[in-house]
Amino acid sequence: MILVIHGPNLNLLGEREPQIYGTLTLSKIDEMIDTKAERLKLQVKHFQSNHEGDIIDFIHENRHDAKGILINPAALTHYSYALRDAISAVALPCVEVHLSDIQEREPFRKRSVLKEICLDQISGEGVNSYLKGLELLAGHLGDAD
């Protein structure tokens, strides 16, 4: 099972700055992830929270059942050492994804404190960032088996 995690403010997708994040709602994005996961024969468990600690608790609670993490950490990307430590602590392969291209925006967004501990960072491809991230995890898990 793969944990699919969406960080702060992603619950507002669809109405939140559509010129940057697009018009798809989070439930539509989750639906598209489910379709892709089925094709890849992966089970997924979705979670969105605006609270850093709740995301960390979710990772801890699911650490024994999960095989990997697909996460859009949203703004936590840029400063959350606590989230970074949680991902390192559970030692699950993780892919960091972003809808927008974080390299082409404000300077504070260029830095990810998570990138180093993730298999990869996929950014700027809208919902495809998630779908590619899931493919990458599937390939990684396939190789590991």
Is residue 78 part of the annotated active site? The answer reads no
CB of 40 to ligand DQA, least distance (A): 21
For residue 61, count other CB atoms closer than 10 A to its CB: 12
CB of 3 to ligand DQA, least distance (A): 17
Q: Give 19: exposed, middle or buried? Use CB within 10 Å, 0-12, 13-18, 19+.
A: exposed
Contacts with ligand DQA in 17-76 (CB under 6 A)? 72, 74-75
Q: How many residues bind ligand DQA (CB under 6 A)?
A: 10
- Nearer Cβ to ligand DQA, position 28 or 109? 109
- Nearer Cβ to ligand DQA, position 48 or 72? 72
Q: CA 7 → CA 38, 41, 88, 140, distances in Å? A: 23, 25, 17, 23
